[in-house]
């Protein structure tokens, strides 16, 4: 019997990713999807749901508060961009806590854990339908959310209320985001903060010295407050 999944997220791109991942795993099917917890209540009352993929920061009510108010909740896997709720999430007996953007292998690991807890056999992905493993993020450029592949990013520079996201082709995107938020977003993808105003892709570093890192011809300064941590990572 397939496990029935309810997806709750107010970001359409996140729902699309989960939908694609679920379609590529035998033993899973979607019972419903919605953009907020209020809509989810109606689905839970009408259909059998075995697991909820639940965002946390949503309109009207947080995902964690929604879960607390369910008298007999199904299994839950949190899918969120916010690490600070992880402890609370696990205190609510969540199966797993996934940080956006979620790679397929990390998603598959969570499903394997879910099946183990529910006494199911480990599901097998359809190799011919495996999704593109290249990680990506959605960044706000002007009024649109633009898909940007992580491997295309070389470094990021803080620019007042924005950041400049420099790409391998030499162009950059002006993104309405703080550099600290970008650091949190990209922390799982080998990006390193080297200065109050700069973070770089570790994989793109071609050389370094005591005061700067080099990305080809581009030289990025190493800030005094970041030097010790940066040097430790570079020496690894």
pLDDT of residue 116: 85
- Considering the domain architecture, whether residues 18 and 117 belong to the same structural domain is answered as yes
pLDDT of residue 160: 85
Quickly tell me which residue has 């105003």 as its tokens.
Answer: 197
Q: Examine the fold and report which residue of 77, 95, 129 is the final residue of a domain before the chain moves on.
A: 129
Output the CA–CA distances (angstroms, integers) from residue 171 to 76, 152, 153, 167, 194, in the order listed. Answer: 41, 10, 10, 6, 21
pTM of the predicted protein model: 0.54
Residues pairing with 172 in the sheet: 166
pLDDT tens per residue, range 205-236: 999 988 999 998 899 999 999 998 888 888 76
What average pLDDT does the segment 170-177 reach?
Answer: 91
pLDDT of residue 177: 87
Residue % of the chain over a pLDDT of 70: 94
Whether the CA torsion 36, 41, 46, 48 is positive or negative: it is positive
Domain hosting 225: range is 136-235
Give the SS3 label for residue 136.
Answer: strand
Of 69, 74, 71, which Cα lies nearest the Cα of 7? 74
Lowest-pLDDT choice from 86-95, 96-105, 148-157, 173-182: 86-95
- Considering the domain architecture, whether residues 27 and 98 belong to the same structural domain is answered as yes
pLDDT of residue 127: 45
Q: Which band of pLDDT confidence, cut at 50, 70 and 90, is reported for residue 199?
A: very high
What average pLDDT does the segment 6-18 reach?
Answer: 93
Domain count for the chain, please give it.
2
State the chain's mean pLDDT as an integer: 87
pLDDT tens per residue, range 43-57: 999 999 999 999 999
Do 185 and 81 contact (CB within 8 A), yes or no?
A: yes
Look up residue 192 and give its two tokens. Answer: 């390193």
pLDDT at 87 over 50: yes
Main-chain dihedrals φ then ψ at residue 229, nearest 5 degrees? -65, -40
pLDDT at 42 over 70: yes
pLDDT tens per residue, range 121-138: 545 555 454 444 578 888
- Considering the domain architecture, whether residues 99 and 168 belong to the same structural domain is answered as no
Give the SS3 label for residue 219.
Answer: strand
- Considering the domain architecture, whether residues 101 and 195 belong to the same structural domain is answered as no
pLDDT at 118 over 60: yes
- Considering the domain architecture, whether residues 152 and 231 belong to the same structural domain is answered as yes
Give the SS3 label for residue 103.
Answer: coil
Give the SS3 label for residue 139.
Answer: strand
- Considering the domain architecture, whether residues 86 and 188 belong to the same structural domain is answered as no
Q: Examine the fold and report which residue of 106, 129, 152 is the final residue of a domain before the chain moves on.
A: 129
Look up residue 108 and give its two tokens. Answer: 């598959």
Residue % of the chain over a pLDDT of 90: 47
Q: Examine the fold and report which residue of 82, 113, 129 is the final residue of a domain before the chain moves on.
A: 129
pLDDT at 187 over 90: no
- Considering the domain architecture, whether residues 15 and 122 belong to the same structural domain is answered as yes
What average pLDDT does the segment 153-168 reach?
Answer: 93
What average pLDDT does the segment 85-107 reach?
Answer: 87
């Amino acid at each position: 019997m397939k496990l029935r999944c309810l997806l709750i997220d107010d970001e359409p791109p996140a729902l699309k990713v989960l939908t694609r991942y679920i379609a590529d795993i035998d033993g899973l099917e979607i019972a419903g999807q919605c953009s907020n917890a209020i809509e989810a209540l109606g689905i839970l009352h009408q259909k059998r749901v075995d697991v909820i993929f639940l965002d946390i920061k949503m309109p009207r009510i947080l995902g964690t508060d929604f879960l607390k108010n369910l008298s007999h909740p199904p299994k839950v896997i949190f899918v969120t961009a916010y690490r600070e709720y992880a402890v609370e999430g696990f205190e609510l007996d969540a199966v797993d806590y996934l940080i956006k953007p979620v790679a397929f292998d990390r998603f598959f690991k969570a499903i394997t854990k879910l099946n183990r807890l529910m006494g199911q056999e480990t599901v097998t992905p359809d190799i011919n339908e495996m999704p593109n493993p290249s990680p990506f993020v959605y960044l706000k450029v002007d009024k649109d959310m633009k898909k940007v592949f992580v491997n295309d990013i070389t470094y990021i520079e803080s620019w007042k209320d924005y950041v400049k996201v420099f790409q391998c082709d030499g162009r950059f995107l002006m993104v309405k985001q703080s550099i600290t938020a970008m650091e949190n977003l990209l922390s799982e993808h080998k990006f390193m903060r080297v200065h109050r105003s700069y973070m770089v892709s570790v994989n793109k570093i071609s050389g370094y010295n005591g005061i700067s890192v080099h990305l080809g011809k581009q030289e990025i300064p190493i800030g005094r407050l970041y030097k010790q941590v940066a040097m430790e990572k570079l020496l690894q």
